[in-house]
Amino acid sequence: SQTIHQWPATLVQPVGSPLSLECTVEGTSNPNLYWYRQAAGRGLQLLFYSVGIGQISSEVPQNLSASRPQDRQFILSSKKLLLSDSGFYLCAWSVQVRDYGYTFGSGTRLTVV
């Protein structure tokens, strides 16, 4: 069966520090991968998605970047975090979006202090 792993679960980082969040998927090949951000009590904001290795589409201009170095690995990064980068970050995957849509990871709660 397919599983998605996202870590760390929580992270507290000072302003100006770098960020690296990792997401890996097991049990499937060539998935579409997504990074979402969710502010407290708010909706889901699509940040990046990828349809293949090295292919990244950015939805929102921001202080973040994404990379896909391997088929089932998706990384969210920042060189210098801002206070506004705080939030709940979710990774998701899909193969056939019309078969149950996306499967989400458990999320990373990032607090920038």
Partner 1 sequence: GESVGLHLPTLSVQEGDNSIINCAYSNSASDYFIWYKQESGKGPQFIIDIRSNMDKRQGQRVTVLLNKTVKHLSLQIAATQPGDSAVYFCAENYGGSQGNLIFGKGTKLSVKP
Q: With contacts defined by CB under 8 A, how many residues of the chain interact with partner 1?
A: 27
87 is a contact residue toward partner 1 (CB under 8 A): no
Q: Give the C-alpha separation, 37 to 112, whole Å.
A: 14
49 is a contact residue toward partner 1 (CB under 8 A): yes
Q: Give the C-alpha separation, 73 to 111, whole Å.
A: 23
Q: Give the C-alpha separation, 36 to 84, whole Å.
A: 15
Strand 65-70: give its sheet, edge to edge: 3-7, 19-26, 73-78, 65-70
CB of 81 to partner 1, least distance (A): 20
56 is a contact residue toward partner 1 (CB under 8 A): no
Among 2, 42, 70, 80, binds partner 1 (CB under 8 A): 42
61 is a contact residue toward partner 1 (CB under 8 A): no
35 is a contact residue toward partner 1 (CB under 8 A): no
Q: Give the C-alpha separation, 73 to 39, whole Å.
A: 24
Among 33, 105, 110, 112, binds partner 1 (CB under 8 A): 105
CB of 94 to partner 1, least distance (A): 8
